[in-house]
Structure 1
Amino acid sequence: MLRPHLPLNALRAFEASARHLSFTKAAIELCVTQAAISHQVKGLEERLGVELFRRLPRGLALTDEGRSLLPTLRESFDRIAGLLERFETGRPVEVLNVGAVGTFALGWLLPRLAGFRLAHPEIDLRLTTNNNRVDLAAEGLDYALRFGGGAWHGTAALRLFEAPMTPVCAPALTAALDQPADLADHALLRSYRADEWTLWSEAAGIEPLQARGPVFDSSIALAEVAAAGEGVALVPALLFSRYFDDGRLLRPFPIEVSLGSYWLTWLQSRSLTPAMLAFRDWLTDESRKGIASRAE
């Protein structure tokens, strides 16, 4: 039996609510009342015979059914928007939404993006940054570039490259760092991954260092604070070449420890569009070039 007609307004109300996890924010975006959004979503749930949201005291949470519907609906709306934009501009354009951990975006991706735009003028790449915590479906992303071990629930992952961690500090601090154990006398800046300095200590063959410095949620912040002379940071040196080139940071020791890799990730339920395929292939080629240049 054919599914009863599903009103476009209700589907749009669900998609906006799922992105914001809020009926109120969806109402502001769509220029209607919060009551109208809630009514449209409730009607859609009744037509489908499932609950799409769990109503919480502070906002919404997607159910499994809502989470499975969102990427397909998002893709459909994006394709409609892309087609309408082609009509308006007179040229083929396909939007590609990519999220990236900030360190990767600033230290590796942005310097190379001009090459991608030149090779693919038909793709409108829209980049957002994050601190490695991302929800592909809720944020409407085609891809997310992340750091880790490659295992994220419901997500396909393509490994790009490792980015080993190494200590870095301002030039003024290096005079007091003759051997790795000397780091025990300095503030060791920390990220939310609490075991980094312990693992680096093992690689250096010294007693575990006790990090006593502040905690930061990104390697970019760690590098900036270290460059200001406030301590020693453990960061992926590969992504901070500009700091070494301008003399803001130095590596007191060559010892590195690998704690993960950078990955291109996307929803397993998502079919890859031509723009997604083009970006994946370009990113893979650029990663291989970088690996080859480091090996020379």
Structure 2
Amino acid sequence: MDRPDIPLNGLRVFEAAFRQGSFTRAAIELRVTQAAVSHQVARLEDRLGITLFLRTSSGLVPTDEGRALYPVLEHGFDAMARALDRITGHRHIEVLKVGVVSTFAVGWLLPKLPAFRQSHPEIDLRISTNNNRVDILREGLDMAIRYGAGNWTGVAAELLVNAHLTPLCAPSVAEFLAVPRNLGREVLLRSYRSDEWPRWFAETGVFCPPLTGPVFDSSLALADVASDGAGVALLPVEMFARRIAEGRLVQPFKTTVSIGSYFLTWQADRPSTPAMADFAKWLCAASAGQQVWNRGG
């Protein structure tokens, strides 16, 4: 059976619409009208005999067929760009979009980025931060660094840094914390993960007091409030080493508990690009002693 005559421009428009998550934003990128983008995608769907997007009130939602097609096209377009640059003698700049949980970005990644950019000038690294809620496909990302157990559905994960949670507070508060039991007199600041304080207290053998302190969705916010002396926060000590060194936060107890780690993640069915591989290798080396990136394209 003959394959349908597939318009290359339609494939390019679909790739942009998928990555941008919007016909309007794709039109801006491609410098055409929104109607032209919609027409090209509809024409492509008609030629393929499949639906690539569901048009909903909240925006474009890729179908399973669209999700399967996108990484193949992205990889193919990037490979063509590199080949053309080699032929014409131009240096190819590859854009790499990475979503990063804010705590890791501020506490670990951002201070190290100048070294990455110096060693990889051919990669245009674009970082966007989040509160650990990220959808790689929907947000048009190549990779994401997130906190958790590393078992996300449809996502491959590479361990970067273990996160050891321990109470951190202002020096003025730490003066009154001789033993873990003293925490019962303090405001215990909480994250949206309700099991953290109970698990830390269980590690010390001390009964966890009633938890009534305010709840935050960001470890950075927790650290700011704790630094101001308004309570004690349970935080990943590796991410706040600078604040501890500066004396803004104090670690009153040696006991830590590990509930999750920071992982580099990407769509499991997506072939890796050179930029993805180089960034992953650099991250694994910079995270000192963690797993080595060895994934083929």
TM-score range, shorter chain: 0.7 to 0.9
With 152-161 and 280-289 compared, the bigger mean Cα shift is at 280-289
Give the aligned partner of residue 245 of structure 1.
245
3-state SS in 1 of match to 2:138:
helix
Please state whether the residue corresponding to 1:207 is helix, strand or coil.
Answer: coil
**Counterpart position of 2:294:** none
Moved more, 9-18 or 183-192: 9-18
Residue 162 of structure 1 and its aligned partner are, at CA, apart by 1.1
DSSP-derived class of the 1:167 partner: strand
Gaps of 5+ in 2: 292-297
Q: Do the aligned partners of 2:159 and 2:290 also contact (CA within 8 Å) in 1? A: no
Deviation at 1:290, TM superposition (A): 8.4
Q: Tell me, what secondary structure is at the counterpart of 1:241?
A: helix
Cα drift, residue 27 of structure 1: 3.9
Provide the C-alpha distance between the structure 2 equivalents of 1:111 and 1:63, rounded to a whole number of angstroms: 39
Q: 1:90 to 1:66 in 2, by over 3 A?
A: closer
Q: Distance in 2 between matches of 1:73 and 1:129?
A: 26
User: Which aligned pairs between 1:1-296 and structure 2 lie closer than 5 A?
Assistant: 1-79=1-79, 90-288=90-288
Paired AA for residue 129 in structure 2? T
TM-score using structure 1 length: 0.86
Output one character per residue of 1:160-206: Cα deviation in whole Å (capped at 9) or x when no partner.
23111111111111223222122223222222212111111211212
1:294 alignment counterpart: none
Q: CA 1:46 to 1:254, structure 2 compared with 1: closer, same or farther past 3 Å? A: same
Q: Is the 8 A contact 2:146 2:263 kept in 1?
A: yes
Which residue identity lines up with residue 132 of structure 1 in the other structure?
Answer: N
Greater Cα shift, 99-108 or 138-147: 138-147
Letter in 1 for 2:105: A
- Secondary structure, in 3 states, of the residue corresponding to 1:160? strand
Report deviation, 1:80.
5.3
Q: Contact conserved, 2:103 with 2:219, CA < 8 A, in 1? A: yes
User: CA distance change for structure 1 residues 131 and 59 in 2, over 3 Å: closer, same or farther?
Assistant: same
* Contact 2:203 2:255 (C-alpha < 8 Å) held by counterparts: yes
The Cα shift of 1:50 comes to 1.4
Mapped to 2, the partners of 1:81 and 1:186 lie a distance apart of 59
Q: Percent same amino acid at aligned positions?
A: 55
SS in 2 for 1:51: coil
Larger deviation, residues 148-157 vs 210-219:
210-219
Q: What is the CA–CA distance in structure 2 between the aligned matches of 1:150 and 1:234, rounded to whole Å?
A: 21
CA contact (8 A) 1:6 1:44 kept: yes
Instruction: Kindly indicate whether the alpha-carbon contact (under 8 Å) linking 1:157 and 1:266 is maintained by their aligned counterparts in 2.
Output: yes
- Aligned residue for 1:189, secondary structure, equals strand
Is the 1:166–1:235 contact (alpha carbons within 8 Å) kept by the matching residues of 2? Answer: yes
> Contact between 1:197 and 1:209, CA under 8 Å: does it hold in 2?
no
AA in 1 matched with 2:170:
A
Q: Is the 8 A contact 1:168 1:233 kept in 2?
A: yes
Higher helix share: 1
Equivalent-residue separation in structure 1 for 2:186 and 2:207 (angstroms): 15
**In 2: Cα distance, 1:24 partner to 1:280 partner:** 32
Alignment partners' CA distance in 2, 1:216 and 1:82: 45
1:2 positional shift: 4.7
The CA RMSD measured in Å over matched residues stands at 2.7
Q: In structure 2, do the counterparts of structure 1 residues 33 and 273 end up closer, same or farther at CA, with 3 Å as the change threshold?
A: closer
Aligned to 1:178, what secondary structure does the other structure show?
coil
In 2: Cα distance, 1:49 partner to 1:152 partner: 32
Give the secondary-structure state (helix, strand or coil) at the position aligned to 1:176: coil
Aligned-partner SS, 2:175: helix
Distance across 1 between alignment mates of 2:117 and 2:199: 39
| Residues 32, 180 of structure 1: alpha-carbon distance in 2 compared, 3 angstrom cutoff | same
Higher mean displacement: 255-264 or 282-291: 282-291
